Amino acid sequence: MNPSPPADYPGCPITVTLAQESGVSLKSPRWSLWDSWIMLGGALVLVAIISVVLHLTDAPMAAVILAGTLAPWVMFVGWPIVATRRRGNGPVIDLGIRLTWRDVGIGLIGGVVSLAVAGGLASLSSLMFGDFSSSAGDAAAELSDSAGRPVLVIFAFMLAFGAPVVEELAFRGLVFAGLRKHGFSPLITIALSALIFALFHFEPARILVVGGVGLVLGFLKWRTGSLGAGMVAHIVNNLPAAVLVAAGLAG
C-alpha cells in the first residue's frame, strides 16, 4: 500500500505553504480524486430526489427551480468540507480558500477576460447550434412568469454570488486539488477540471462557453494557488446576467 502523500504535494494550494510557514502542523491528506466523484454523484442523486418529490407534490414552479438549484450545492459545499476535515487539514488549507486584495485585483481582470472568452465562444456556438439560451436564463424566464419580483431577486443573488462561491469550491477546489494530488500536470488539470465543469452544466449548446470560462478560472487557481481570484472572476462573469434577471429581463 502506497503511503499517503505529504501535505505539501506538488500543486498543493498556497494556503498549505502559508500554514507551514506559520508553524501549523499539517496532516498528510487522505482525501482523493474519488471524493470528487462522490461529490458529483451525490449532487446528481440529490437533484433527482428533490425533483421527484417536488413534482409528486405538485409544488409551485418557483419552489421547483429554487430547490433544484440549491440541491447540488449541498454536496458541492458539504462534501469538500467533510472530506478535508475528516481526512486532511480542512477546506481552508487543503483547497486554498483565501482572499487578498491581490486576489481581488486578479479576479476582476480574470472576470473581464472570462466575459470576453464567453462572448467569443457564444458567437461560435451560435454558428454551430443556432440560437440558444442558458438553463439559468430559461429558469429566470419561468420565474418571471410564475413568481414575483422578490423571488427573481433571490434567484439573481444566487446566480451572482451563490453559484460562483459554491462552484469554485467544488470544481476549482475539490476537483482541481484531487487531480493535482493524483499527479496530473497543471495543464491537464486545468483542461480536465474545465471539461468536468462544462459537462456538469448539462447544456450541450453551451459546452464551449462554459468550458472556456472554466479554463480561465482554472488558470487563475493555478497561478494564484487559491480560490479567491477565481471566485471574484466568477462573480464578475455571472453579474451581468444576474442584473438582467433582477430587472425582470430574464432569458
Residue 96 lies in a domain: yes
Q: What is the pLDDT of residues 64-78, one digit of tens each?
A: 889 999 999 999 999
Long-range pairs for 44-52: beta carbons < 8 A, 24 or more residues apart: 44/72, 46/71, 46/72, 46/74, 46/75, 47/71, 47/72
Say whether pLDDT at 174 is over 90. Answer: yes
Residue 48 lies in a domain: yes
Residue 94 lies in a domain: yes
Residue 127 lies in a domain: yes
Give the per-residue pLDDT at 135: 86
Residue 188 lies in a domain: yes
Q: What is the pLDDT of residues 24-67, one digit of tens each?
A: 999 999 999 999 999 999 999 999 999 899 888 888 888 888 99
Residue 7 lies in a domain: no
Full domain range(s) for residue 37: 14-246
Where do runs of H (alpha helix) occur along the chain? 14-21, 33-56, 61-87, 91-95, 101-129, 135-146, 149-157, 163-167, 176-182, 186-199, 207-224, 228-246
Residue 1 lies in a domain: no
pTM for this entry: 0.94
Average pLDDT over residues 1-7: 65
Residue 26 lies in a domain: yes
Here the cell at position 148 is: 414575483
Taking the C-alpha atoms of residue 153 and residue 159, their distance in angstroms, rounded to an integer, is 10
Give the per-residue pLDDT at 220: 98
Taking the C-alpha atoms of residue 134 and residue 137, their distance in angstroms, rounded to an integer, is 5
Overall domain count for the chain? 1
For residue 23, count other CB atoms closer than 10 A to its CB: 6
**Percentage with pLDDT > 70 across the chain:** 97
